[in-house]
Amino acid sequence: MSSFRFAAVGDNCIDRLGAPIGRSLVGGNALNVAVQLARLGHDSFYFGAVGRDAEGERTRAELKANRVAVKHLRIGQRNTAWTDIKVLPSGERLIAAEDFGACAGYAPDEAELAVLEAIDHVHIGWLDDGGALRRRLSRAGVSVSQDISVNADPADLGVEGLSIVFCSTDQPRDAAEAMAADLLSRGAGCAVIMRGAEGSIALTARERTETGIRPVDVVDTTGAGDSFIAGFLHAWLARKPLLQCLESGRDHAALARRLPPGGDAVLKLSA
């Protein structure tokens, strides 16, 4: 499979997981997707901001260790973002507290925008810019995806111009399909609804498909959605059929949940 020039823009954070895991991990939707695409052999660039602190240096080092280009990683005056996560016995996680730190208010400058406009595909994570980057890149004809589930402010939830919009829900299939149809009606080219243990659904103007999950022993689900997105994009960029894109996402999400004998969770930054 050919490699592509891929960029992820937006959030990074230090995920601080409680018992029984009891460790901290470098994560965040945009950062995780950038790392996963690099591990899949693509030229991957990360655009975001960290603080001038030990956790910011840790984040930079993890990106470099995973062959993600960090030329556009901005060092800000605020602290590196962090998230406290409560891990349930089922492996599901709940956000107990978070501080967006240097990520808050981050936006690429004009020079960085010029670089992004020459990239094969750009994925946007949490970004509090009111949709400015999405609109700029879509006007330039760039292939763009975004996970709107990691955003909360209505100003950041627009989908017009997105090649792919990702969204998570625990709603029944009919409600998930209605959600996908609504996202298409609002201007997305493809809507992918991630339904946790119920699998996933993808919808375009011409096609509808779905797949279940790949059963694994769950450690925790932190970053599994980000791994799903990376797997889906890996197949999408190679112009695979929509079902194969979902299956690729499913398989990469399963890797993020699995615990190998005597080891830590695989593909684990926060993934």
**209-240 per-position pLDDT tens digit:** 999 876 544 444 446 889 999 999 999 999 99
What are the C-alpha distances in Å from 229 to residues 66, 75, 146? 18, 26, 9
What are the φ and ψ backbone dihedral angles of 151, each rounded to 5 degrees?
-105, 160
pLDDT at residue number 215:
56
pLDDT at residue number 113:
98
Mean pLDDT of 71-90: 92
β-pairing, 73-76 with 43-51? Answer: parallel
Residue 17 contacts residue 211 (beta carbons within 8 Å) = no
pLDDT at residue number 256:
61
More confident residue, 18 or 266: 18
| Structural domains of the chain, ranges and CATH numbers in brackets | 5-257 (3.40.1190.20)
Q: Is 50 exceeded by the pLDDT of residue 189?
A: yes
d(CA 84, CA 145): 26
Q: Return the axis-axis angle of helices 29-39 and 54-65, rounded to nearest 10°.
A: 30
More confident residue, 257 or 43: 43
Residue 253 contacts residue 228 (beta carbons within 8 Å) = yes
Tally of CB atoms within 10 A around 117: 14
Which residue, 200, 206, 122, 215, is CA-closest to 167?
Answer: 200
pLDDT at residue number 20:
82
Q: Is 60 exceeded by the pLDDT of residue 259?
A: no
d(CA 157, CA 164): 13
pLDDT at residue number 94:
86
pLDDT at residue number 270:
41
What per-residue string of b and e applies to 81-91 under the rule 16 or more CB within 10 Å gives b?
bbbbbebeeeb
pLDDT at residue number 264:
31
